[in-house]
Amino acid sequence: MPVNPFPILLSALWQGTGPAATTPYLILGYIVMWLIGTAYVVTLITRQRNLNQDVQLMRRLLEEDEDQADA
């Protein structure tokens, strides 16, 4: 009967074969690093979106003002 290797692999990964079961710290470490990196990328995207909206609004206001001046 074939043995499914995945539970064994997952178990080995979780417990480790070293002196200590340190995998939870590994997972926590990578989650925290990803969260910090992702948070920074989100702030970059948000700031850029807000600035683009500001630029478009100001351009529209200037165009409207020029149209009024022409009329």
| Residue 20 touching other proteins (CB under 8 A) | yes
Task: Give the C-alpha distances (Å, rounded to integers) separating 58 from 13, 64, 66.
Answer: 56, 10, 12
Q: Which residues ranging from 39 to 68 are in contact with other proteins (CB under 8 A)?
A: 40, 44, 47-48, 51-52, 54-55, 58-59, 61-62, 65
Binding site for other proteins (CB under 8 A): 13, 16-23, 25-26, 28-30, 32-33, 36-37, 40, 44, 47-48, 51-52, 54-55, 58-59, 61-62, 65
